[in-house]
Amino acid sequence: MNAKELLGSEIRARRQELGLAQYQVAKKAKLQQSRVSDVELGKGNPTLETLDAIARVLGTMLSLRPRTGTVSSKARSNSRDEKVCVRCPLCNGTGKIKASIV
């Protein structure tokens, strides 16, 4: 599961937890229902504005948190395995931040 799919599944879970249909979230967020569906499925490249609008409807917010994992020494110039970023586009390989819905 990639980052967009993971975020989409978190959004879907929160929407279902609130008992909302996609069309209800879309209407309140002033988006098309197909856009909400795409976000939940991890398709396309939603803007931060789109994600923020959905998060607000769901009573949540976008947040940044560390994301680490083990990457082999072949992927780094280090001689041993270490905890480093797992290709997070927001941190540009530094392992410092990750977007998620909270």
Structure confidence by residue, pLDDT tens digits, 4-31: 998 999 999 999 999 999 999 999 999 9
Domain count, the chain: 2
Whole-angstrom Cα distance, residue 4 to residue 25?
A: 18
- Quick one: 55 and 7 in the same domain? yes
- Quick one: 42 and 75 in the same domain? no
- Quick one: 56 and 73 in the same domain? no
46: tokens are 């939603």
Higher pLDDT residue, 85 or 40? 40
The range of the structural domain enclosing residue 32 comes to: 3-60
- Quick one: 11 and 43 in the same domain? yes
Residues 6+ apart with CB under 8 A from 76: 82, 84
pTM of the complete model: 0.64
Q: What is the pLDDT of residues 50-101, one digit of tens each?
A: 999 999 999 998 776 655 554 444 444 444 444 444 444 555 555 554 455 5
- Quick one: 18 and 52 in the same domain? yes
pLDDT at 1: 80
